[in-house]
Amino acid sequence: MPVGGPVVIDLFCGAGGMSLGFQAAGCRILAGIDEDDSANATFLENFTRLQPEAPPVVPSPGEGDLHSYDLDGIPGVENVDIVIGGPPCQGFSRIGRAKLDSLRDEGQREEGFEEDPRNELYKIFLSAVRRWKPKAFVMENVPGMLSIGGQNVAEEIGADLAESGYRVGYAVLNAVWYGVPQFRERLFFTGVREDLAARPAMPPATHRIGVMPSGYFTTAASARTTHYATYLPFVMHYDLDVSHGQARFPATSVFEGLDDLPRLEDHLSEGHLPRGDFRRRMAYDRPPHSAYARLMRSWPGLGRPEGIVDHVIRRTRRDYETFGLMRPGDRYPEAIEIATERVRCKFRDRLEGESGEEIDALRVLREEFERVRSIGLPFKEWSPELVGFARELFPPYPEDKFVDKWRKLVPGGPSWTVTAHLGKDSYSHIHYDGTQKRAVSVREAARLQSFPDGFAFSGNMGDCYRQIGNAVPPLMAWAIARTVLGLLGEPARSPEDAGRGGESE
């Protein structure tokens, strides 16, 4: 794509999911700043390819801390049109607040979520907006910001920015509304400089979903007419609504998102990750079967790759058969029941092949197994003999704490939220194809987030999963960018212009 269009700076940019959407819509990315060196390397590599005539400014390793980074020293910053970014949100999220408070109560951390310094990082974003006075800004965070100890921080931020000369609106958006094959809620603020006389708005949904699954509080049914129907000129910040009336397409499913990618089966015969396998390129072995897959293979500016890299998984031979026997939607309790039956089968097989004292010992061990399972005794409290017998079949994690740590994807609908700790908890997204007996790969996690196949990630496997899980889905960002550019009177490219179309093949 030619270099041009409104100039964008991305603060707390991560791998660049938000920037990728804005760049695809027609913007030029001037800079991306993050304290994560791996994410900065990812950002630089991809946006240098996308903008070879004007590569973005990215911090040198170890210099991306926005507390000390010289933002005003970025060449061309005086001409920035749009500031975007997502300040770290762990301190605002419901899960993050509970975790921080738990660590404080256990004496492992001095402060709880209210004192977490990450809750102050958004003020760096606000300060940059006040200094540079861009035409518009977009800030992303978690819905938990709407209620922290009874305090609506989002309302306070909106008021703060309005006093700085912006008309501001905010809303909780779900990525599934914009074609991403994933339920993912995030809070977005949009501000337009007051002198431009434009009222902020949120992108209308393009994809429809009926009933939202439990755990996601926003629904299409909750959409109403915009609050601007009763616009008051002296009120400059709003809780915005999202239109669902023109959503033409059904929600993108996991099947549409992943099924054209190469099958992975070598882990079923290999015990460990072969050296050099992580970046091995794999050719596509089938054509794209959906509009979504076509876009992932032909994102504007990234060419049409002949295959993919990073299509690799964490390997735990113990669990392969359990993965294969789980049904779509099954979680850890069902996995434990499957593993229990696998251990019972091992006892039966061993008893049929042994005699004498060995049979007596196995029977005693089997009785112990049935007893510990009946009372729910944690794996770590089993006898060493039983642990030794079952450890190759039975996962050792507490059943009450790992209910959602394992979950098998349902092919006919969107995925649940891809998280930043997927590298450690990749079993939260087990591939729906039981014959492959595995969790999702790095590249499949990227697909669920709408990162195109031509987008390359830097760092090790854990770094890649983290960058993917922390990102704003690029396709969602593209929808937001189109709306913002429309408010500014700027032309914007759409996914349909990129050949995405609207129908699955």
Active site residues: 89
Bridge partners for 189 per DSSP:
139, 170
Work out the number of other CB atoms within 10 angstroms of the CB of residue 204: 16
Helix (H) or strand (E) holding 8, with range, is strand 7-11
Radius of gyration from C-alpha coordinates of the chain: 25
Helix/strand/coil for 119:
helix
What is residue 33's three-state secondary structure? strand
Query: What residues form DSSP beta bridges with 11?
Result: 33, 85
Q: In whole angstroms, give the CA distance from residue 169 to residue 241.
A: 9
Residue 237's DSSP bridge partners are 168
Structural contact between residues 188 and 170, judged by C-beta atoms closer than 8 angstroms: yes
Instruction: Report d(CA 163, CA 160) in Å as an integer.
Output: 5
Helix (H) or strand (E) holding 32, with range, is: strand 28-33
Tokens 């755990």, residue located: 215
Contact 429, 363 (CB under 8 A): no
Phi, psi of 188 (to 5 degrees): -125, 135
- Six-digit token pair at 504? 């699955």
Q: How far apart are CA 62 and CA 79, in angstroms?
A: 27
**Three-state DSSP class for residue 418:** coil
Please report the beta strands in 160-267, taking only residues with DSSP state E, as ranges in sequence order. Answer: 166-174, 185-193, 207-208, 237-239, 249-250
Measured between alpha carbons, how far is 415 from 468 in angstroms, rounded to an integer?
14
Helix (H) or strand (E) run with residue 258 in it: helix 254-258
Alpha-carbon distance 489 to 486, whole Å? 5
